[in-house]
Chain A
């Protein structure tokens, strides 16, 4: 991939976590309502720095691309997103996770 060795291909079906299914559903709903396009998702995923791209899972990249697309379109603000993330982290007792860049 990208001119680098890709490793072995896992041919088994993946078991998706609930949050991954929700990210997929959010993408379908936002695209269906005309709030994002696959080209914007690709642009934002390909814009990830190489180390971020490599360390994120498939749906983490999608989640990041959805957030960036909605910020770029002005549908949400960074302040709204930051406050919501803090609220959810507090509810889940996972404040430490927010401090990762």
Chain B
């Protein structure tokens, strides 16, 4: 599924970078979960470029491919009423165009 480096956007983030998920609500086929939009996290893994599902869903090429990241969030930051241990985390795979540096 990885589209390779030739038709991909350049990776802007590396593991350890702090990011904020864009708080945007466009129509269409969006894979970024609603509950994570606007929250801060840290890049855990850079997973490489993948064709953009927002475009693939409408039978277009999805290229240039978007770098995909596994972003780690603190459960207590995501859920204000979270009662589990303070070190509990949540990983979400998010495309680069949904992330801003934080």
Q: Does A73 contact B (CB under 8 A)?
A: yes
Binds A, one of B3-11, B18-26, B51-59, B75-83: B51-59
Q: Is the interface of A mostly helix, strand, loop or mixed?
A: helix
B: interface residue count bin: under 10
Q: Is the interface of B mostly helix, strand, loop or mixed?
A: loop
Summed over the interface, the residue pairs from A and B with CB atoms below 8 Å come to a total of 21
Q: Does A20 contact B (CB under 8 A)?
A: no
- Residues 45-87 of chain A, each 1 if its beta carbon lies under 8 Å from chain B, else 0: 0100000000000000000000000001100000000000000
A46 to B57 CA separation, bound complex (whole angstroms): 11
- Residues 46-76 of chain B, each 1 if its beta carbon lies under 8 Å from chain A, else 0: 0000000100111100100000000000000
Are B29 and A37 in contact, CB atoms less than 8 angstroms apart? Answer: no
A34 to B58 CA separation, bound complex (whole angstroms): 13
Give the nearest-CB partner of B35 in chain A.
A3
A42 to B28 CA separation, bound complex (whole angstroms): 11
A residues neighboring B (CB under 8 Å): 37, 39-40, 42-43, 46, 72-73
B residues neighboring A (CB under 8 Å): 29, 53, 56-59, 62
- A-B contacts besides A40-B59, A43-B58, 14 pairs, CB < 8 Å: A37-B57, A37-B59, A39-B29, A39-B53, A39-B56, A39-B57, A39-B62, A40-B56, A40-B57, A40-B58, A42-B57, A43-B57, A46-B29, A73-B59
